[in-house]
Chains A and B, each alone.
Chain A
Amino acid sequence: MKKKFLRIFILFVLSVITHLKIHAQSRIVKGTVTDDKNAPVIGATIGVKGTSIGTITGEAGTFSLSAPAGADSIAVSAVGFESQVIAITPGNMSIHLTTSRTKLDEVVVVGYGTQKKGDLTAPISTVNTESMLKRTTANPMEAIQGSVPGVQVVTNGAPGSSPNVRIRGVGSFNNENPLYVVDGMFVSDISFLNPNDIAEMSILKDASAAAIYGVRAANGVVLITTKKGKLNMKPRITYNAYVGIQKPVNVLKMANGEQYTAFSLGRKSTADSGTVLLSVQKFGGSGLNPSTSTDWYDVILRKSALITNHGIDIQGGGEKVTYSVGLNYTYQNGILNAVNDFKRYNGRVQLEAKPTEWLKVGFSAVFNNTITNSPNNSAFLDAYTASPLFPVYDSTNVNAFPVKFTAASVIGRSDDKNPMATAYYNYNNSKGFQILPTLFVEASFWRNKITFKSQLSQVYGSLLGTQYRPQMNLGPGPGSTVSHLTSTQERTTNYILDNLLTYRDSRGASHWSLLLGQSTREERWRQTWAGADNVPNVKEAWYASQGTPNAAYYGENGTRNAGISFFTRGTYDYDNKYLLTATFRADGSSKYQTKWGYFPSVGLGWVISKEAFMRDQKIFDFLKLRGSWGQLGNDGVNANAGYAVVKTGNSTSAVFGSTAGASGQYIPGYTVNRFYTNISWEVVTEWDGGIDFEMVRGKLSGSVDYYNRKTTKAAFYRPFPFTYTTIYGNWADMVNSGWDVSLSWNDKIGELGYQIGANMSTLKNKVTSLGSLPSSTSGFPEWTAEFPNRTVVGQPINYFYGYEFTGVYQTQQEVDKDPIAANYNQSSSSPILPGFPKYKDQNGDGVLDDKDRINMGSYLPKITYGFNIGLTYKKFDFSAAFQGVSGNKILNLNRGRLYKASTSLNLDEKFASNLWTGPGSTNKYPSAYAIGQGWFKVSNSFFVESGAYLRVQNIQLGYNFNVGKVAPVAMRVFATADRPFIFTKYNGFTPEVGTNTSAGYSVSGYDSNVYPVSSSYSLGVRATF
């Protein structure tokens, strides 16, 4: 051993000396690399033949390096071009590259390694990071919306929030978000990254690619590599920035004072007319015509809100060391006119050293600091429902303080909150800090045929949350609520230790590789909270000890999950023509009673275009058939105790001795929840068949895939009669199937280069088993009885369930003739009248009952699509991206709120102005009176609307130029419009309806979303030194 070290040391010293010598005699080689249309080629690799010296070209296609005196030629290569070797000439070398016929030499990041794109047996989508950077979004996943087939991104308007991402449909009632692997670390969300940090992003969609991630892979895997320097790379500094404004877009117009009054009086209740009278009396107007008409959305929304991003990035490398450093700052102000914004500072450091030929060590870390002021989202709901008949402020509200907001109860609307007060009396700040360090060592043996890599990746996160409510009174009565503080601390510590052994070899036309790996991981999360009343309204005093403490305000929570895995992957190809990939992973998990799961996969590929019989055809440049099968797991299934859980403490103890003279006291008690079952992860068995092709000299490329994913042991909260307690277990099976298609066309007409891309995915979801359960109903929390969704075998998961709304009764004669109306009117105290909704008597038995309920539609889009065009002309470039979905339904729960309302909530302008007013007025909307009556208050398809939309996601115009002659700085300035237009018939703020998980299970397709989405318009600049 000692001897070996000595030898290494001598080698090391020698190499340093050689290195110095080379430098002593080097000369400068410089030049410009252009393509066949004379446009600069950015990022081309320049290597000096016979040495390891190299660089890459900058924004203007220029390069400069110092080559040893003996060197005679340089090798120039770039992705998408044929490589060239060119003799060194003095002066500025001018190098023209010709477009390569295929992109198949690109190296793609796959699980625990890389593979050449041409050799893949799996449909892996690589994300174009350039076009990702065109979007002005704070979150990287929002930046790929509509650009990757099979990936559905559903965004949300709140600053700092993360989108929902679905890859190939919904195979689970639980977590449907994919696994993100950032530099080897598993994370569930990548909102801590700036789009600027990402060098490569690959999306693993099928089993052949994803099964190597075993029990975490069922929802697909997003692999992210952050930016890294390259060996012998001249330092490159890039500055990236944009400043823009966000504007609320598609803000729903609510009924104004006049329309609301008409609707309200139409309900014919004393409370409603009382409100109208009181509004006139208090705030002006005459008779039954109040003059107040508050547009609450106008009150609570900012006209425009700032969004800005600045990033600086340095990459470079010497002969043995590469480095990269990045710093980013993002600020996004919320569009709610109160304290709500998002600020993120993040930094990235990466360092890699190659001390010897066979050893590589590396370190990288992503730091981030976020400060989020979360809005009180109920302000948006309040703005939706509040009556327009009272103003924001009321100076006669004498008892109110600190601000004299109007109390809605003075016009008899005690249910209404003043939306501005809701927004104003909110302080919800969280400061997060997270560091994601990774450390690896890699050793190569046997002429690099064997490499061993060991990597430790970690996440350390901490969070301080502060919620404060000042002492206040909303009036009109005296007495105020005391101030209250809740302060929360959180700590996340996760790690993964990976050990990978890779063997790569070839003999003749046969190439093979084998990966053996082992991984250990642990995830720990802990939360502590403390609170107090009567805390002074001074930020510095916001400590629980500064107020009146109470045991009920303190608590702790935490989770721990651990896993151990062994995995392997073998690949074999013959002449890059016949391809085979096989993987296997064994996963052990602490979350479940069953500890171990096994996940195999196999993928086959046949590059037909390499066959002799294809040699003479001119249609295809490249044609490959692929097929794969494999099993994947989803451990997004909640951990389950597997035993009865005891609840103790004040909440399960009863009070005794509460008498006239005594306040009583607790006698300690406990309750036991014995509803449990053994649980395990879900298993997805996936088939995929596909074709990759390139045609017309590489101008047209594309791929088509068919997939079939069967989820078995899908876990959900099985409802039981008699209780809200559900039992979480592996109760169901379901199948998702469909097509993923993507096409891209690249060409030039004179100096105009253009590119058109399109992608589309179809999805069919069907539940195939529910065990012994005949059906399962669920729904949006607190609305499960009014608007249930239902799951039965043979239908899509969680479809909307209810009666079919077919129109409106126009005349009394029509009511009398209809058997179901006549039947209802026999006993009802509120009989059906003209203007009431008509429901279809599905079984024709003359009675509307549970047997007449139907599938009113599914929240899952049948088609998800995106397309984009890119144009370049001289120094200008222009791009536009569109995306949309169709075939899905939305249950408009905002309109549905009228259901539970005991008085008239406000409604949207379209609804209010289209109400039925007499025979023939409309067949689409009921009368104002009918809305308040029981007949309308059954789950029906009036509330189910099409969720189809097409959105212009991004438009950007850029101009490229150089500044300075000697050391030119490549500049790009650009103007961007994000989400400027949307085309939809949906009657809501946005048809992008997220997933609600507040009840502990995920429920989708119910629109309770009253946070308007904003569009943003920005100007940006990028400079490369």
Chain B
Amino acid sequence: MRNNILLLALIILMFSGCSKFLDRPLENQAQATNIDYKDLSLMYQPVSGVYRTAASGTFAKWISVAIRSERSDDIEPGNDDAGQVAIHNYQSDVTVKSYWGINDMWISMYSVVLGANSALDELEKFGKNISASDAANLKLLAQYQAEVRYFRALAHFWLCRTFGAVPILGIESNDPTTLGDASKSSIEDVKKHIIEEMDFCIANLEDASPAAAKRVGSVTKYTALMLKAKAAMDLAGNDNGSAYWDVVLESTNQIINSGKFSLFADYYQLFKKPGKMCNESLLELQYSDFGKSTGDIVISGGPGEEWGNFFFFQGPENTYSSVITGPGWMVPTQKAVDFLKSRNDSIRLKTTIQYCGVNGDPATYAVTPDGDTVSGNASRKKYFNGKSYFPRSQMTPDRVDYYGANNNIRVMRYAEVLLMNAEAKIRKGQNGDAQVNEVRQRVKLAPLSQVTLQQLLEERHAELICEWWGERFNDLLRTDQAAAVLPGFVKGPSDYIPIPQAQEDVNPKLK
């Protein structure tokens, strides 16, 4: 019996203090509650997190860039991926609806929205630690919120341009139940929402060009003004009488009149290292290899996604260099080449069109203006996009991978501001010659006078040709010329890409 009592005592001894044994947080998982929200020097960190989310694996992810670009007559897939081919031909049936790429694009874009909402929640927590009298920090808080809200709005903007009516996800969608239950807003509502958001951003963002911003390359008041103008332009549509043209005009005037922006003199170099974050830039996604040939690197693909590198996936299939190379996707169309040639637009042609050997013949080669040798290929693709060509000579010495590393991705440029300004003027019966000619002059084209709407649209086409944000298709859509110009386009069904089947499957409200 004594033994039993001893044993019992022993067992009891062993159990004491066991609650702490079970009640410990997980290893190696930092808790959000451990962030010191009183330390306002940390307040920019969630904002920087959003910039990174926007730069890696989302906005410039290869498949979403491809889908946006291929919905035009400037760029064709360059492969026989049925999904991309169907999108290039403006199909809207089951082939497209169940195509993985559109689902991936949807998610990529929305992940910026979700990242922004999460960051706004963080900023709110910092905000609670700012006293009402601390005007400087309150101003910073508002600026930071505006930076985050800019990216959220930009994602909604592109989503709406691609998929039409889409849900607007605000900070309430941080709660997963709300998120799982979201429903769509009309195209008009999404665009109006973007204008409202931009008004907040314009009021609170830094008054500088991105190149001169405190954190070089961050979004500023002018980046927001440009997005506002774009949203207004879409709302105005082809109606010259729309009041939204006033919004376009007023917003672009503010950018122009600020005097903080100018066109970069060399159109060819604008897309290369010398043009990085120049005064023409309103929005660039920034990348770096920190000047080193190996090691840490920031590229447009997601983590470990060399494949997703913006410059790589548009690179030519080149047997002469394992550096200047790629799968040869997103090929400039013959139509685009002919268009530039027909208007003798030689600088834009030289910048945009690079050659794969002679007519793509695999036994031949071509040499780029920067001296890189590029071969033809089995598929006999003749061209690759010169705007995403990054010469070997400009890359970090000894770097043999991540073609294009250390170059930024140009998203919004001052040239487009000038052209939007001109369009608003022309549509309102004013003269837009000055702005159009400023753009033409840079590429050594003769000035025009009494520029017509059609001439302006053609200039937009040429200036933005083969860029990646869907302007060409959108111009044709909003001016109701798509059905006439784009083979396969059917007005209505082809306007937007269908909501991905996978999305409808998890949320029937998206149908």
Which residues of A approach B to under 8 Å, CB–CB?
A: 267, 269-271, 274-275, 277-278, 281, 407, 409-415, 443, 445, 452, 473-482, 497, 499, 501, 518, 520, 522, 533-534, 548, 550-553, 556-560, 562-564, 588-590, 595, 639, 641, 643-648, 650-660, 663-675, 677, 719-725, 727, 773-777, 783-786, 788, 790, 824, 827-830, 848-850, 900-903, 932-939
Contact = CB atoms under 8 A, between A and B. Distances in A.
B22 A564 contact: yes
Interface of B: 3-4, 7, 11, 14-15, 18, 21-35, 44-53, 55, 79-83, 85-86, 89, 91-100, 103-104, 106-107, 110-111, 113-115, 118-119, 121-122, 167, 169, 173-174, 176, 179-180, 182, 211, 215-218, 273-278, 286-291, 294-296, 298, 303, 317-323, 325, 327-329, 362-363, 377-380, 400-401, 406, 408, 488, 490, 493, 500-508, 510
Given A556-B28, A790-B505, 5 more contacts: A277-B378, A412-B317, A560-B24, A588-B18, A667-B44
Contact of A414 (B97, B317, B408): B317
Nearest to B217: A656
B179 A932 contact: no
A646 B502 contact: no
Contacts of A497: 14
B31 A658 contact: no
B217 to A, nearest CB: 5
B21 A590 contact: yes
Given A412-B317, A556-B28, A558-B27, A659 B508 contact: no
Given A271-B379, A414-B327, A671 B55 contact: no
Most buried by B among A595, A783, A850: A850
A414 B113 CA distance: 35
Given A270-B380, A827-B493, A669 B49 contact: yes
A169 to B, nearest CB: 26
Contact of B288 (A534, A552, A655): A655
B378 A278 contact: yes
Contacts of B80: 267, 269, 271, 902-903, 932
A670 B45 contact: yes
Given A652-B52, A665-B290, A900-B81, A646 B32 contact: yes
B406 A785 contact: no
A479 B506 contact: no
Nearest to B276: A660
A158 B286 CA distance: 43
Contact of B26 (A641, A723, A725, A774): A641
Given A653-B52, A655-B55, A643 B32 contact: yes
Contacts of A773: 506
Contact of A271 (B23, B82, B182, B378): B378
B14 A777 contact: no
Contacts of A556: 28
Nearest to B325: A477
Contacts of B321: 477-479
Given A777-B505, A934-B85, A562 B21 contact: yes
Contact of A724 (B18, B50, B107): B107
Contacts of A552: 295-296
A441 to B, nearest CB: 12
B215 A656 contact: yes
A501 B7 contact: yes
Given A479-B400, A656-B218, A934-B86, A564 B15 contact: yes
Most buried by B among A474, A590, A644, A645: A644
A314 B41 CA distance: 69
B506 A776 contact: yes
A936 B25 CA distance: 50
B109 to A, nearest CB: 9
A412 B295 contact: no
A564 B18 contact: yes
Nearest to A820: B94
B23 A590 contact: yes
A784 B218 CA distance: 36
Contact of A827 (B33, B167, B490): B490
Contacts of A589: 22
B379 to A, nearest CB: 4
Contacts of B89: 828-830
A480 B400 contact: yes
A645 to B, nearest CB: 5
B11 A518 contact: yes
A655 B501 CA distance: 35
Task: Rank and list the top 9 A-B pairs by shortest CB-CB distance, nearest first.
Answer: A412-B378, A669-B48, A274-B378, A654-B51, A785-B100, A902-B79, A829-B89, A934-B95, A271-B379
B323 A499 contact: no
B118 A672 contact: yes
A932 B79 CA distance: 11
10 contacts: A274-B378, A479-B400, A644-B31, A664-B216, A664-B290, A669-B49, A671-B52, A722-B113, A788-B505, A828-B95
A938 to B, nearest CB: 5
Given A595-B22, A658-B276, A721-B180, A641 B322 contact: no
A625 to B, nearest CB: 38
Contacts of A479: 321-323, 400
Contact of A672 (B32, B287, B294, B362): B32
A650 B55 CA distance: 13
A658 B502 contact: no
Contacts of B111: 722-724
A676 to B, nearest CB: 9
B275 A660 contact: yes
Contacts of A667: 44, 48, 215
B280 to A, nearest CB: 12
A850 to B, nearest CB: 6
Contacts of B15: 518, 564
A723 B182 CA distance: 13
A785 B86 contact: no
A721 B48 contact: no
A643 B49 contact: no
Given A409-B319, A533-B294, A656-B217, A645 B32 contact: yes
B7 A722 contact: no
A104 to B, nearest CB: 34
Contacts of A932: 80, 82
A774 B508 contact: yes
A179 B26 CA distance: 23
A674 B31 contact: no
B294 A659 contact: no
Contacts of B400: 479-482
A170 B391 CA distance: 55
A442 to B, nearest CB: 12
Given A518-B14, A671-B46, A827-B93, A658 B288 contact: yes
